[in-house]
Structure 1
Amino acid sequence: MTSTVAERIRSLRNVRPELPEPPERKAIREAAGLTQAQVASAVGVTAQAVALWESGRRTPRGALLGQYAEAVQTMRELA
């Protein structure tokens, strides 16, 4: 059965970027030799936001979730 374009678009909404647990995020960043401020600048947030994400007190949402997940993946590849 062929799905419609609308069905394919709706299915994309359910795709959530993979994000490691907070302690692993910090370890990945440190292994890549980057500061929270550098990651924050790349993602477009404050260093405090990155600190909160790494501590597990907050989780990025919306577009920031995708941007941060991509940044973490890139850092993982650098390390």
Structure 2
Amino acid sequence: MTSTVAEKIRSLRNVRPELPAPAVRKAIREAAGLTQAQVASAVGVTAQAVALWESGRRTPRGPLLGQYAEAVRTMQELT
């Protein structure tokens, strides 16, 4: 059975970016030599938001989840 373009697009909505554990995210950032403020600036949030995400007290949602996951992947590639 062939999927339509619309079906493929709808299926993308259910794809949730994978994030490492909070402590691992922090270690990746530190290994990349970046501050929480630098990551926050790249993602478009405050340094406090990144601190909360790295502590596990909060998790990014919506578009920020994808942006942060991409930032973590990029930082991991730098190390």
TM-score, length basis structure 1: 0.96
- Structure 1 vs Structure 2 CA RMSD: 0.6
Question: Partner of 2:50: helix, strand, or coil?
Answer: helix
- Per the alignment, residue 30 of structure 1 pairs with 30
Q: Which residue number in structure 2 is paired with residue 51 of structure 1?
A: 51
Aligned identity (percent) is 90
Rounded Cα–Cα distance in structure 2 between residues aligned with 1:35 and 1:5: 41
Aligned to 2:60, the other structure's residue is in SS state coil
Give the whole-Å Cα distance in 1 for the aligned partners of 2:73 and 2:48.
20
Q: Read off the aligned partner of 2:27 and give its amino acid letter.
A: A
Deviations 1:24-67 (A, max 9, x none): 00000000000000000000000000000000000001110010
Segments of 4+ in structure 1 off by > 6 A? none
Task: Spell out the pairing of 1:1-79 with structure 2 (5 A cutoff).
Answer: 1-79=1-79
Quote how far apart the aligned CAs of 1:9 are: 1.2
TM-score, structure 2 as length reference: 0.96
